[in-house]
């Protein structure tokens, strides 16, 4: 929990925008997935949904990359930074990826449920 609060305190506007976009995509896609589970008659929309379920993770990885680049740039500008500080900053950078992975997991479970339901003919 301490790492999360430290991450939010040291976040830039870009970091927060990426997090909000990840959450927005996840929240919007959950009802779409539920509609696909109960309303679709074929498996094709389920496969498309599963492909789109990767969006939060891909966006989170891009956000983590941006954060790593900014950490490396800050270290280049100020070489007096201790190794522990750099390590802690890099560890905080992975929080965005964890959030994206959680969103992708929820969406993927909905998509897999839709595929399994269509295979059984229900």
Average pLDDT over all residues of the chain: 90
Residue bearing the bigger pLDDT, 86 or 57: 57
What are the pLDDT digits (tens) for 38-59? 998 888 999 999 999 999 999 9
Q: What's the pTM? A: 0.86
The pLDDT of 67-93, averaged and rounded, is: 88
The pLDDT of 90-108, averaged and rounded, is: 94
Crossing angle between the packed helical segments 44-52 and 13-39, to the nearest 10 degrees = 170
Express the helix, strand and coil content of the chain in percent, nearest 5 each: 85, 0, 15
Would you place residue 79 in the very low, low, confident or very high pLDDT band (cuts 50, 70, 90)? Answer: confident
Would you place residue 113 in the very low, low, confident or very high pLDDT band (cuts 50, 70, 90)? Answer: very high
In order, the DSSP letters of 72-107 are HHHHHH-TT--HHHHHHHHHHHHHHHHHHHHHHHHH
């Amino acid at each position: 929990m301490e790492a999360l609060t430290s991450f939010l305190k040291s976040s830039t506007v870009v970091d927060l925008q990426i997090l909000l976009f990840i959450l927005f995509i996840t929240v919007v896609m959950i009802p779409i997935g539920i509609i696909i589970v109960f309303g679709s008659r074929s498996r094709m929309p389920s496969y498309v949904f599963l492909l789109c379920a990767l969006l939060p993770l891909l966006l989170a990885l891009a956000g983590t990359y941006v954060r790593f680049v900014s950490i490396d740039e800050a270290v280049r500008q100020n070489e007096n930074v201790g190794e522990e500080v750099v390590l802690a900053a890099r560890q905080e950078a992975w929080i965005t990826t964890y959030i994206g992975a959680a969103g992708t997991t929820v969406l993927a479970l909905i998509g897999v449920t839709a595929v399994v339901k269509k295979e059984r003919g229900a």
